[in-house]
Structure 1
């Protein structure tokens, strides 16, 4: 089984949060998960929900501050082993093109 989740962790304050978000992302390295960060959050994959929740807890705790906001959306499809990439590929097959605007070269510049 593969559990896929969307995680967003950030301190509640003004200004850039990049350094604090980086601490949350770095905390994921201590767990058996794969992840990809995008402008709205981080997609995480784990073999089971327990591993996922431990990683998410560590990411949440890694962000300093008086107040930290964490959003977590979990897709725990227990009858499938599809990865996040395979889910995107399914959408791309239905579209007949990559699932992003433009030529896709923009992603390579990031």
Structure 2
């Protein structure tokens, strides 16, 4: 079983959030998860939903702010393994091209 989550953790502050977001991403290193950060959040993959929740909680708690906003979206495909990369590959197969716009 592969569990894929989209995690977004952000302090509610006026200034740059990048330092606190880096702390949240760094907290994921202590868990048995694969992850990739993008401009809107971090995609996390693991074989165990409990590990996903633990990693998300650690990322949330790593942010040092008076108020923290965290969103976790979970895709728990229980009948077979499917990685995040395979999901993108399937979309690209239908598109017949990469699922990115590389034009300036």
- For this structure pair, what is the TM-score category when the shorter chain's length is used for normalisation? over 0.9
Once residues 24 and 59 of structure 2 are traced to their aligned partners in structure 1, the CA distance between those partners, rounded to angstroms, is 4
Q: CA RMSD in A?
A: 1.1
Q: Give me the whole-angstrom Cα distance separating, in 2, the residues matched to 1:57 and 1:16.
A: 22
TM-aligned CA deviation for residue 102 of structure 1:
2.1
Q: 1:48 deviation in Å?
A: 1.2
Determine the C-alpha separation between the residues in 2 that align with 1:92 and 1:17. Answer: 32
CA distance in 1, matches of 2:90, 2:49: 23
Q: Does 1:90 align with 2:98?
A: no
Question: How many residue pairs align between the two structures?
Answer: 104
TM-score (norm 2): 0.97
Structure 2's unaligned 5+ residue stretches are: none
Secondary structure of 2:77's counterpart equals coil
- Residue aligning to 1:43: 43
Give the corresponding residue for 2:65.
65
Partner of 1:79: 79
CA distance in 2, matches of 1:24, 1:39: 14
| Gaps in structure 1 of 5+ consecutive residues | none
Specify the alignment match of 2:100 in structure 1. 100
Which residue of structure 2 lines up, in the alignment, with residue 23 of structure 1? 23
